[in-house]
Amino acid sequence: MLEGEAEAPSNIAIVKYWGKRNSALNLPLNDSLSISLEALKVRSKVVFDPELSKDKVRVNGVKLSDEEVKSYASRVLDRMREISGKSIYAVVDSWSNFPSSAGLASSAAGIAALTLASSDALGLKMDPKELSKIARLGSGSACRSVYGGFVIWHSGARDDGEDSFCEQIFTHDHWRDLVDLIPIFTDEKKRISSRKGMSVSVETSNLMKCRLEFVRETLPSVLDSIRNRDAKKFFEMTIRHSNSMHAIMMDSFPPLIYLNAMSLKVIDSFGDGKIAGYTFDAGPNPHVFTLRKDAESVEKTLIELGATKVIKSDISAGPRVGKKG
Ligand code: ADP
Ligand code: DP6
């Protein structure tokens, strides 16, 4: 039996990934940019066992269906088997350090942790760039969780995906004053998966072309705002990029509405970008970026708006391979 273990951070995209040019390889239509989060981590343990006849995955103690395993984790494990030349199936156990009922996306961190753990188990010495390409096969956003700090995912142009990988652009301590406040408003059970949702948008949204242009034109200013620690510009760009993706969702047919009444209250309260910048993925719970000096007042507002809990996250230094402690 071959064993490996790793922990990876969740990431929140500032410049979002919403739309693929190739679904089998999770190749995106645009570059995206994310921040890895210290407070939301997932640990995965992988055991390759010659006795198994298929891959098995448990997340927080709950067994995933064969269909789910096939469409996500096994895409990573298949590639690892191909590279190592070892045709052995694996059992994966994954735990998040935050309640799964909080409705916070954890698949990116889980699949990144699985990628690192399986590479370790098989004794493959791969650099983060290679690992990001393999994590991408499991789930697009997972490729950004292979790094800490501020991460860019280059969409690439090749059909085989060899130029679609991530790199760290700034380390976790580049902007120490920046914090992410994550209010929990709902446990968010029923929604259309990102995978299904983005395919509906690619097929039906007329605004998609316009958004791709917007991303190309504004990515340099997002990078500048981070480089210069320009909070005002960063908050504005964070808000605009989130709204741009949600406009595409609304423009899809049938429309994809991931935001709820609470989300709209957050937009209303912080939309001027003066002390914070919000961003929403495919769900109603926001990530609200602010400066440390304003965190208390932003948190107070989020609680007044109805948050039952606010998670405060620093920027993660990156994943760790090996057992805990
Ligand atoms: P998100 O985290 O982006 O909201 P979901 O919770 O819908 O996405 O998860 C998408 C898929 O990712 C699940 O169907 C499951 O197959 C896979 N997945 C989620 N977490 C893990 C994990 N920790 N390890 C392996 N696969 C996972
Ligand atoms: C809204 O990475 O979950 O979070 O590649 O199909 O697995 P697949 O999709 P996924 O989509 C994430 C979409 C997003 C935006 C982002 O993280 O960039």
Q: What is the pLDDT of residues 180-213, one digit of tens each?
A: 999 998 766 668 999 999 999 999 999 999 999 9
Answer for the pair 163, 173: CB distance below 8 angstroms, yes or no: no
Q: How much is the pLDDT for 223? A: 98
Ligand 1 atom having least distance to the Cα of 109: 23
Q: Which ligand is nearest to the CA of 68?
A: 1
| Cα distances (Å, whole numbers) of residue 52 to 34, 66, 178 | 36, 14, 46
Q: Which ligand is nearest to the CA of 12?
A: 2
**What is the ipTM, given to two decimal places?**
0.97
- Residue 100: what pLDDT? 67
Q: For residue 72, which atom of ligand 1 is closest to its CA?
A: 16
Ligand index nearest the alpha carbon of residue 105: 1
* CA angle (250, 22, 103) in 5-degree steps: 50
Amino acid identity at 64: L
Task: Say how many Å lie between the CA of residue 140 and the centre of ligand 2.
Answer: 6
Task: Give residue ranges with CB within 6 A of ligand 2.
Answer: 13, 16-18, 26, 32, 107, 139-141, 194-195, 281-282
pLDDT given for residue 97 in this prediction:
87
Low pLDDT (below 50) residues in the chain: none
pLDDT at 98: 79
Pocket test for ligand 2, best of 194, 198, 200, 215 (most atoms within 8 A of CB): 194
Element of type H or E holding 286: none
Ligand nearest to the CA of 141: 2
Question: Tokens 């109805």 belong to which residue?
Answer: 306
**Spatial separation of the C-alpha atoms in residues 238 and 234, rounded to whole Å:** 6
Residues 112, 7: Cα–Cα separation, whole Å: 8
**Residue 294 Cα to ligand 1 middle (Å):** 33
Distance between CA atoms of residues 154 and 31, nearest Å: 5
Find the 195 Cα to ligand 2 centroid distance in Å. Answer: 7
Residue 73 Cβ < 6 Å to ligand 1: yes
Question: 183 preceded by cis ω (within 30°)?
Answer: no
Distance 60 CA to ligand 1 centre (A): 11
Pocket test of ligand 1: the residue of 41, 58, 67, 107 to mutate, having most ligand atoms within 8 Å of its CB, is 107
Number of Cβ within 10 Å of residue 202's Cβ equals 17
Spatial separation of the C-alpha atoms in residues 13 and 172, rounded to whole Å = 15
> Among 11, 43, 72, which residue has the most ligand 1 atoms within 8 Å of its CB, making it the best to mutate?
72
Full-model pTM: 0.97
Amino acid 206: pLDDT: 98
150 touches 169 (CB < 8 A): yes
